[in-house]
Amino acid sequence: MRPQPPATTPAVVTSSPSDGSGGPGESAGPAGSAGQWGLAVAVGLLLAAVGLRPVLAEQFARPAVANWATIFVAIAVQAMPFLALGVVVSGAIAAFVPPSLVGRLMPRRAVVAVPAAALAGAALPGCECGSIPVARRLMSRGVAPSAALTFLLAAPAINPVVLVSTAVAFPGQPVMVLARFLAGSGTAVLVGLLWAGLGDDRLLARAMRAEPESGSSRLAVFAATARGDLLSAGGFLVIGAAAAATLQTAVPRDAVDAFASSPVLAVLALAALAVLLSICSEADAFVAAGLRQFSLTARLVFLVVGPMVDLKLVALHAGTFGRRFALRFAPLTLVCAIAVGSLVGWWLL
């Protein structure tokens, strides 16, 4: 009898790069590559600015361009400290707060677990990109999918860093902070309850599979998470600040006023803008504050929609949980965010 070859077990694969759920130790290559590309782009832009200095100086002498630059720099400079704080806190939570702790404290019944998950999200600051792998790990540890999804929506929308940045962006208007908290938490709870009653948990089977822990040190997890969040969120902040400055200077005021003067069009326009810009929640309040032509209610909808459903999040949801899930979850979240944000804005603002 010929001896059988020994059974071989493949190396542990925690997740594919596309699902976004692996620990930093599992994706050191992409993270390092992203950091190198980010550094290369920054150096390239710096060299271009130095080489084109005479041309840029001439352009910035024009009033319109100078006004655009003033608005852009004001938004970016105001938002950067909160973005940096959010990145540090997000990295610390990823490194030192195990998802199993949240899972152990979560009630089992969805009616109770969903509001509890929203409160847990409010207490644990983190950007929207960082909340996705945490939600996946919660599901893999037995937390109800409706509660994990509520946490996913609430953590970036109503955490303390976001609320403080909103207070700074809207000085003398504490009601805006209250409105953002109520609208964000209300949307997260509503989506969670709707998913508990009507959602199909089979779409989340991939996320609910138990996954092995990363072997990376806590310091490595912190550094990789903070670096990834900064590279992602910083780029979108620049895009958002540039878009707000362009809206203020380049777009004809009559065109902006046509949307801003209609309550319905204003809400829909800023909801669409939030989806397209994909700004980090720690910085979006400063962009919203710059959209002065629009009502506070429309800007509140902008702040509620952005951290919960935008282009980058839809892509991350599809990669982490599956395309079929993303095609159902994104429209549900968008409709709920617009409805709850408009209702809270009508009530308080």
- CA atoms of 120 and 153, how far apart (whole Å): 11
Domain count, the chain: 1
Chain centroid to CA 179: 19
Is 288 inside any structural domain?
yes
- CA atoms of 208 and 77, how far apart (whole Å): 41
**pLDDT tens for residues 295-319?**
999 999 999 998 998 877 887 788 7
218 versus 60: the higher-pLDDT residue is 218
> Is the pTM higher than 0.75?
no
- CA atoms of 221 and 101, how far apart (whole Å): 17
C-alpha pair distances (Å), 331 with each of 89, 325, 335? 30, 11, 6
C-alpha pair distances (Å), 49 with each of 35, 70, 310? 21, 17, 31
Residue 338 in tokens: 């617009």
In which domain, by residue range, is 216 found?
63-348
Residue 324 in tokens: 């079929």
Q: Indicate if the pLDDT at residue 34 is higher than 70.
A: no
What is residue 6's DSSP assignment? P
Is 206 inside any structural domain?
yes
pLDDT of residue 52: 64
Is 114 inside any structural domain?
yes
Q: Indicate if the pLDDT at residue 131 is higher than 80.
A: no
Residue 325 in tokens: 């899930």
Is 19 inside any structural domain?
no
Is 51 inside any structural domain?
no
